[in-house]
Structure 1
Amino acid sequence: MADEELDKGTDAAATQDEAQKAWDKPDTQADDDATETTESDDTAADQKDADEAGQKESDDEDLDLPMDKIEALLSADNTDKKSMSPQLRRVAQRQAENSKRVEETIKGTKANPSWFVPLFCFLMILGLAWAVVYYLTSKYPIPGIGAWNLLIAFCIVMVGFIMTMWWR
């Protein structure tokens, strides 16, 4: 009796392996092999599809709700939980958890002043312009200091880039 069950188990595993091999073959070979498949291959593939569908069914239980009910639930402030189906209760609970999480995240963030972004953008552009002017004229923006103009341009650009690290 145990040997028969073992043989049935190995036969089922073999048919599943054959079905997987047929599935993995390129389309040209699969078309040639389609005439050679047996009913056991088809039943093994159907069983595999049914198992996958059973797993997805638990994940997708909320998807069979009408969208108008979900929208009404989300837009309503006070809802009677006793009159809701279990699926709608789960949707309402998830929405409440997500709203709470978003509110906590917003409370924890700090914003920069409105002048912060324009200032660091201006500094980076000013440093670039400083270097371009020096390369084109080779004595301006500050005459008499020579290549130190490039150091000044580099420092201005770096201050702008360093400010980006504190941008929130």
Structure 2
Amino acid sequence: MPKSRIRKKDDYTPPPAKQQSIDLGGGRRWVAPLMLAMFLIGLAWIVVFYVTTGQLPIEFLGNWNIVVGFGFIAAGFVVSTQWK
């Protein structure tokens, strides 16, 4: 009995994919400048407090000025979580 021919199946080729554009800057351009500003404000607050021996930025707060400066720096880290 003759052997039948084996039909070769066409190789699968997926349909062409649609190009998707990725917008890396979309809507979050404010994050980096705000983050850096918070870092610099906090650093400047602490430096001014030490240089003026507690007379500035707010004399009434006393050593709590250090906490305020670190609060600005912490806020900068919180804002940095929004950066993409």
Alignment TM class, shorter chain as reference: 0.5 to 0.7
Equivalent position to 2:40, from 105, 108, 125: 125
Aligned residues between the structures = 69
Give the secondary-structure state (helix, strand or coil) at the position aligned to 2:57.
Answer: coil
Amino acid at match of 2:48: V
- TM (norm. structure 1) is 0.36
Normalized per residue, the structure richer in helix is 1
Note the 1:61-72 alignment, pairs <5 A.
Answer: none
Quote the Cα distance in structure 2 between the aligned partners of 1:142 and 1:110.
Answer: 38
Q: In the TM superposition, what whole-angstrom CA distance separates every residue of 1:71-122 from its partner, at most 9, and x where no partner exists? A: xxxxxxxxxxxxxxxxxxxxxx9xx66x74xx26x16x67333322211111
Structure 1 moving runs of 4+ over 6 Å: none
- TM (norm. structure 2) is 0.67
Larger radius of gyration: 1
Q: 1:166 and 1:113, CA in 2 relative to 1: closer, same or farther beyond 3 A?
A: closer
Give the secondary-structure state (helix, strand or coil) at the position aligned to 1:144.
Answer: helix
* Residue segments in structure 2 that go unaligned for 5+ positions in a row: 1-12
Equivalent position to 1:147, from 38, 63, 83: 63
Note the 1:76-87 alignment, pairs <5 A.
Answer: none
* Residue segments in structure 1 that go unaligned for 5+ positions in a row: 1-92
